[in-house]
Amino acid sequence: MNFYSAPFWIRAIYPQGLIWGVPTKQREVFLTFDDGPVPEVTPLVLSILKKYNVKATFFCVGENVDKHPEVFDLLLKDGHAIGNHTYHHVKAWKTDINSYLSEVEQCNQLVKSNLFRPPHGQITRKISKILRKEYRIIMWSALSGDYDKKLSKDQCLANAVNNTRPGSVIVFHDSMKARERMEYALPLYIEYCMKNGYTFGKFDSLKMQ
Ligand SMILES: [Zn+2]
C-alpha cells in the first residue's frame, strides 16, 4: 500500500461521509481532473478523452474559470461533469471557516455543481458537516501523482493502474505542473482500463436545488 492510494486507515482519520470510491461491482472507473481549466492543458485532456470517447469529472478552480471562460465552456460542450474546487485553491487546515465557505460560494457562482473536492485533500469535520448539506464531497481511490515532479511518468501510470478496482475514483490534473506526466500516463491508463474491460463513469453534477 502506498500514499497514492487511500487505504482504510487514511479514510478513518478523515471526517465521515466523504466519497472515496463508488460502490459498484461493475468494472467502472471514474476519472477526475483537478485545478483547471487552463488553455495550455485542459484542451489537451479533452482531445485525449474525445479520442477514446471517455467522459470525466473536472474539479475547477473558480479563478481559472474567471480567467478562461472559453476553456470552461469546452468542458460543458463535451458533456463532462464539473465540480467545485474553491475559488483560489485554498487549504482548509490553514483558512478560517467563514473564509473557506465564502471561497466555495465564490466558486459556486461560476461552477454550478453539487460536487466538491477540497484542494490539497484538506478538510475539517466542521467544514465537511456544513458542505455535505449541499455537496457530495468527492475524495479519491488513487492519486496518479502527476503533479509530483519527483515521480517518473511510469510511476504515475503505475499508481493509477495498481489502484484500479470497480468504482475507483482516479485523480489526474489539468495543470501546467502535471502536464508532462499526465500527457504520458492518461492515454496509457485509459488503454489499460479498456483492455481490462473497464468502462468510464462521470459523477452527476446537477445542482440539487
Ligand atoms: Zn487541486
For residue 79, give the 3-state DSSP assignment: coil
CA 173 / ligand 1 centre spacing (Å)? 8
173 classed as catalytic: yes
Burial class (CB in 10 A: 0-12, 13-18, 19+), 182: buried
Phi-psi region of 173 (alpha: psi -120 to 50; beta: other; left: phi over 0): beta
For residue 19, give the 3-state DSSP assignment: strand
Q: Rounded CA gap, 130 and 199, in Å? A: 33
Q: What is the pLDDT along the chain (209 residues), one digit of tens a residue?
A: 346 777 777 788 888 899 999 999 999 999 999 999 999 999 999 999 999 999 999 999 999 999 999 999 999 999 999 999 999 999 999 999 999 999 999 999 999 999 999 999 999 999 999 999 999 999 999 999 999 999 999 999 999 999 999 999 999 999 999 999 999 999 999 999 999 999 999 998 766 44
Residue 8 has which C-alpha cell? 482504510
**Domain residue extents for the chain:** 8-138+179-201
**CB-proximal residues (5 Å) to ion ligand 1:** 34-35, 119
CA 139 / ligand 1 centre spacing (Å)? 11
DSSP character at residue 177? T
CA 143 / ligand 1 centre spacing (Å)? 11
- Cα end-to-end distance, the chain, whole Å: 40
34 classed as catalytic: yes
Q: Rounded CA gap, 169 and 160, in Å? A: 10
CA 24 / ligand 1 centre spacing (Å)? 26
CATH number for 8-138+179-201: choose from 1.10.10.10, 3.30.70.2500, 3.20.20.370, 3.40.640.10.
Answer: 3.20.20.370
